[in-house]
Chain A
């Protein structure tokens, strides 16, 4: 549950460090812990994909 969503935080860290992770949390309105507890639904994945494009 939420493995794919959590992986986006790792991608964000690789892309821009802690700042990018914070921005990802703000854009998706989800902290890493919350992402881990959330289903990897297509809708949630889209939210993270869109947020990643803005980093």
Chain B
């Protein structure tokens, strides 16, 4: 299959640009994924830092509600993506529900509601838990952190839920795609222009050499202005053609003389 030079040059240019564009988008994706992971880590660290700060503020069982509520209000006021912040502690004897209930919360409606089994497990194991999940299509992080008295005994539980929808908003910007597409279109146009500039004199030259190959030596070599290899080739061919024409003239002249004699 014959593929002309213009097609080859244009295809090479476009191929390079497409590969470059694809690499740009791939790198952007990788960088966005890294940024997402870092942001998730940041949320986790932030949640744990708040819970730790609350843990270190507690001295005794007394006054826990006041300290917790103060901390919750302060965290809420900072507007750091906290959607739920509650502190659970052992309900006083004779109160219902028995066991752990909410003593402070950013949601006043949940005050005195019972803790769930998973939360109570954290108290029992005395180890914090971080759990990622989705709620209504938005990513959330739940940090459950045991709070201790000065003796190191777990006496309460901080439960934080943070909205991580900001993470999902991190994506390769549409401008990256747009710039890549524009780059491909512009490069393709430049490629066509460059290949046309290169192949135009070549086509002129080919037209003449085709005539020569067909046996017609009375051809006029084209004038090629570009000072490059094609110009050199054209000049060399001019010389060879002049020599062939000279020899033809000589042979014809000799034949004429021989015929006359």
Interface: A29 (CB within 8 A): yes
Question: B247's closest neighbor in chain A, by CB?
Answer: A22
Taking a contact as CB atoms under 8 Å apart, the answer to whether B246 and A31 are in contact is: yes
Enumerate chain A residues within 8 angstroms of B33, measured Cβ to Cβ: none
B210-261 at interface with A (beta carbon < 8 Å): 221, 235, 238-243, 245-250
Residues 15-44 of chain A, each 1 if its beta carbon lies under 8 Å from chain B, else 0: 000100111011111111110000000000
Taking a contact as CB atoms under 8 Å apart, the answer to whether B247 and A32 are in contact is: no
Interface of chain B: mostly helix, strand, loop or mixed: helix
Question: B252's closest neighbor in chain A, by CB?
Answer: A33
Total A residues in contact with B, Cβ cutoff 8 Å: 15
Minimal beta-carbon separation of B208 from chain A (angstroms) = 13
Minimal beta-carbon separation of A46 from chain B (angstroms) = 16
Query: B245 contacts which of A23, A27, A31 (Cβ < 8 Å)?
Result: A31
Number of A-B contacts (CB under 8 A): 39
The residue in B238, B240, B243 that gathers the most chain A C-beta atoms within 10 A of its C-beta is B243
Enumerate chain B residues within 8 angstroms of A32, measured Cβ to Cβ: 246, 249
Enumerate chain B residues within 8 angstroms of A25, measured Cβ to Cβ: 239, 242-243, 245-246
Total B residues in contact with A, Cβ cutoff 8 Å: 14
Question: A21's closest neighbor in chain B, by CB?
Answer: B246
Taking a contact as CB atoms under 8 Å apart, the answer to whether B246 and A22 are in contact is: yes
Interface of chain A: mostly helix, strand, loop or mixed: helix
Query: B243 contacts which of A9, A22, A33 (Cβ < 8 Å)?
Result: A22
Enumerate chain A residues within 8 angstroms of B241, measured Cβ to Cβ: 29
Taking a contact as CB atoms under 8 Å apart, the answer to whether B250 and A28 are in contact is: no
Taking a contact as CB atoms under 8 Å apart, the answer to whether A29 and B239 are in contact is: yes
Query: A29 contacts which of B238, B247, B248, B249 (Cβ < 8 Å)?
Result: B238
Question: B249's closest neighbor in chain A, by CB?
Answer: A33
Enumerate chain B residues within 8 angstroms of A28, measured Cβ to Cβ: 242
Minimal beta-carbon separation of B8 from chain A (angstroms) = 31
Minimal beta-carbon separation of B64 from chain A (angstroms) = 104
Taking a contact as CB atoms under 8 Å apart, the answer to whether A31 and B239 are in contact is: no
Taking a contact as CB atoms under 8 Å apart, the answer to whether B245 and A33 are in contact is: yes
Additional A-B contact list (17), CB under 8 Å, known A23-B243, A33-B245: A9-B246, A21-B250, A22-B247, A26-B239, A26-B240, A26-B242, A26-B243, A27-B239, A28-B242, A29-B239, A31-B243, A31-B245, A31-B248, A32-B249, A33-B249, A34-B242, A34-B245
Chain A residues near B (Cβ < 8 Å): 9, 18, 21-23, 25-34
Chain B residues near A (Cβ < 8 Å): 221, 235, 238-243, 245-250
21 A-B residue contacts at CB 8 Å? A9-B246, A18-B250, A21-B246, A22-B243, A22-B246, A23-B243, A25-B242, A25-B245, A26-B239, A28-B242, A29-B238, A29-B239, A29-B242, A31-B243, A31-B246, A32-B246, A32-B249, A33-B245, A33-B246, A33-B249, A34-B245
- Return the 7 tightest CB-CB contacts between A and B, nearest first: A31-B245, A26-B239, A25-B246, A29-B238, A31-B246, A25-B242, A26-B243
